Structure 1
Amino acid sequence: MAACVLLMLLAVLRLTSAEDFHGDNISFIKPHKDPDGNIQVAFHHQQNGRNNCVHSSPFTCEECKSFVHSIVMQTDQDNTGQGRWCQSGRFTQANVLLNVSHISLSNKGCCWATNNDMKTNWTAYAHMDLRTRSDTETLNNCPVTTTVSSLRVHQNCFSNMHLLAYDPDGDHVKCHWPADAAVHKNITLNENTCTLEKTGHVSEGVYVFEIMLQDFPTKRISLSNGNGTSKYWETSDENASPLCKLKLQFLLKILPSLPICELGHVQPNFLDPTPKHGDVLHATVGDELVLHTKAQAHRATINGFQVSGPHNMNKEFADGEHGKADLTLTWTPQHSDVYRVVPVCFTAETNESQSEMRCVVVMVSKPASFHDGVNEGMFESSFTLTGPTVVTCAGNRMMVAIKRSTLPDVDVNSLSLNDPSCLVTYNATHIIGSMLFSNCGTTIEDEEKYIFFRNQIQTLRDPLKVVFRRKTVKIGFSCQFPKTATISSSYDIQKSDYIFSHSRLDTFSYLFDVYTDGSFTNKVQPSAFPVQVDFLQNIYLSLKAESGLANVRLFLDSCKATPDDNPDNDDFYDLVKEGCVKDPSLRVETVDRLSFHLEFQAFRFDGDNDQVYITCTILMCDVNDLLSRCAMGCLNEEFRRRRRAVGMQTSMQSMTQGPFQFVSEALPSGAVHHNNAEMMREDAEMMQADVRENADMDDVYVMKKSDAPKPVSGETKLSRVRMEMKKMLSTNISTMVFGGACSLSVVVSAVAIAYHARKSKGKDQKPLLAS
């Protein structure tokens, strides 16, 4: 009997703990891709509950090789002792299978807390594209969102509820109901603002909400796989799939009506310096982030705050006079948090009511050491300020740090960047502003020799205030990048990494590599040079620029072949000239805005030269500049007369790759017969026909194929004829000596002269023989 009672009690306890689910969400950290193509995806999973918040079932993933989980850590709980709500968090790192294009995570369980929708089982879901974006040259960032564990609103005071939906890449985030979501009468979802809107009467009780967040780029981009393939994502395509999908799940309790819905009466009202909903804060690894909130309720007592944030964020609550209460949140990001985008939501709580939910985003940057003057090894700025300060300019972002002692009597909680939603952060010694070149109101200016990225730290203005009792701040700072690049050091022609240094301000890295086949996955190592090739064998080259600057593109102006490593050799052959493809066998593929693939058939120069070097000239341009060299593309004669590049671009840079050495022995001149010459002439005619046939076809590359190239050589047609005459005269003498027939030698000489004249004409048209 006692055993039966025990079993019944255990069943009741199991059922009670099972009905604790209040919702959950996932926040991805920017995926990491190593040089071998392996991708690591990390994410934080937050789960809301009632009594039991230390258990969390793991996710499943078909594209993952393995998972590494942290322990489940409670991040927040009800401080009244009633166990009404709690939240836990777990960090997970997934190792993804090679060359997969996406990752899908799912989780399910039972049971939702008792609700009006009669929902029991729940399912969590997340999907992320793992292809490289052409606009950022990195993997996609997913939107971030979260909610506090327990959301409450009074029946007559509910008009709308703003949910957090922030995308680090600046993509447009849309929200919609999943197919299996509960349908709520008189509650709609604004897809573009991710806002719940009340449209009519809603009964009291608890309701389940499941919302899918999706991100869509705001412009046309290409997505590249690890295997070298790419696909365009079109904004005009209404059926285009989102790059990420996240399911946000939470409960909303509708409370009885209040006599007065005025904020600050019974419902707590947030006061300054509480951040606004959607504000973007910046934190640095190792430095303490401080976030202040204040709320007031004249007819109720604020007994605490709910917070959804990282597990090691500390809360300090202070109860004040006149119904006011303060909350100070402090958090010190660790090295594992670098580049993390952290959602933080909070509400002020009373026994009767709850404030609105406000959410902010914290962007975590790498640590930097601050001292007087500019950091060694960092990039100098045109910004100057009396007193110690530092401006750090990186590839795609900048950060300013100002000693607090230089700004006395300044309210650091009222400082922002150009965009008022981007607040500055601070520690005991410095005020810190950190931003990308593409956000927080950063502007770009093009001057004669430099590109400037500018922002400023300013005092937030309250439109309701007409007087101020604190000093206002307006401090401008910028990063400058010269438009002209110079080669920083000499290089070996067998190496593939070419560094072009922009003084001490920025560095573009250009890669010029040889690959073994058309998949462009296996590079030819420097030890394998000279590369052994044969006639008609395809050669595969890759040109790539590495730069953190946003909105720049690589342009291939020219590529030419020479028999030695001197690009100015008089004997050369144009593969690409002034943006136009000249060689009929050449195929140029634009992989993305910073890289090209080149494929062409091997050839050799006439004479004793058995090696070929390839020299390509490239430059970088602003993608939005219609006057740049990149925007002009292939320069034919008419275009050159009409227009000249005057836009935002770097200077031309040349890179040499090779040598390519032929392993096949050349045929002796006496072995070339009339039939072979006829076959070569027919092949040439067929090749020219193919070129004409393909001339109307669209090419992936921005340049157009021109007619067959006109070769350039230091040897004139006359000298070649004389040389051939000399060879034939020598052949005639030998023939007369051994044959003894003068008349026959005259006939043979005439035929030979005619043949070699035709051959000389063919050589003049094409000095590089492709078998």
Structure 2
Amino acid sequence: MGDNGVFSVSNASDSNPTALSQVPLQFGVEILPPAQGCVPGVNKPSFMTPTPLHGDVHHAAVGQAHEITLRAQISDNSIFDFQVSGPSNMSKTLTGLSNGVMMATLTWIPQETDLYRHVPLCFTAETLNSQSEMRCIIVVVAKARVLSGEAKVICDDNSISIVVSKASMDGIDQNWLQLRDPTCSLTSNQTHILGTMSLNTCGTTMDDSGDFMVFKNEINSFENPNAVITRRNQVKFGFSCQYPKIASVSNRYVNHKSDYIFTESSFGTFSYSFEVFTDSSFNSQVDPSQYPVQVQLMDPIYMGIEASTALPEVTLFVESCRATPEDNPFSPVFYDIIKDGCVTDETVTVYASDSTKYDFEIQAFKFTGGFDEVYISCSVILCAKDSPNSRCAQGCLGQAARRRRRDVSQETARHYITQGPLRVARQTHNYAASNDSGFLHMSTSTGVFAGLFVVSIAVVVGMLVYNAKRTRSVDRMQLLSSF
């Protein structure tokens, strides 16, 4: 390379050619035909479970083997390798399976020098003609393996239940365990730690793993933020439920929101349903297949919230409800319907119901700025019935209301539930339009209006002509009488 950064090539006629290398080099170029497509699983490899998802965090311990399993599939070709970027002392074992599936097992034993490191690891599956997406995970190295108890996971249509054996987690205090969402806690009996959550609560996330939809959560230990020392072991383990894509599970969770299920130590497992109803009887729900719910501006919308719990004496309190143009209760664009327990929209009618139900009606509206969809999100609390110092007993807290000290042991945490979208139907108008022949077509209403307009013009013209003739006749009579 010359001083100006430009490569130069010496011709064979040069008297003193410069050698490119002291080692003989050979180069080969292979030109492959263009790929026929880029469909994952067909023309390029697609990852399958139990391959880690992009962004996953794994935990390993110094001196102990940590294994990661990769699995990918392709139908129009064959996978010959997994390209892996990771620690230099990581080993890889390939296993060919049936139906174009290839599996790789990665094994790594962290050393003392890896302690407390967050080690990135990236991988792809490769054929001769294509490559899968790249996924990257993080492996966190600790002094000893993080405790992970023996657990049973129960996958229902719209919920996940986790049952952890206490015997497999010696010295663990259930009161210092939590799910991914810290507002969701766990409960326990003498032998097990229990938790139940719906597929859209408590921090549960959904990932597409190729052949399955995977709903994931985890149990973590936490510490007192004011404590200097601790004598509790760290606990962290994930759990998941996977559903085949051939099932209708995706439609159920993308549009219509299923029941919200929570677990708290003082109240056990409880759930909220948030539905749109067809009329003011609140007996017939809008079918989930009809979501997004089509509405017209100013139409009445009937919505109802109901709490379900094994506890006999509880009260449901709806602290707030707000509308947003997206599926996010904390969207910067919002409209308050209920705030601090007070109804703020003048079109809202609250219907009387029992202590665990809240039924209300509101007139349909839409957000300005081109938004066509509306989501309704409410924060709800369950309280022990007749508890004088609970949030439920305080009711509407306007600016002038006095806020009393609350007894939080008599109420659940505040939970957000969402339903929607409600989609405002676009208004249709009939306009005149010409066809290819140049003739003008009108709707029936437009033709009637045009006819009435022409008749009105004719009547006005006739009256003007009549008045003009009558005026000339009167003027002529006056003229004759003057002689």
**TM above 0.5, one fold?**
no
TM-score by length of 2: 0.37
TM-score by length of 1: 0.24
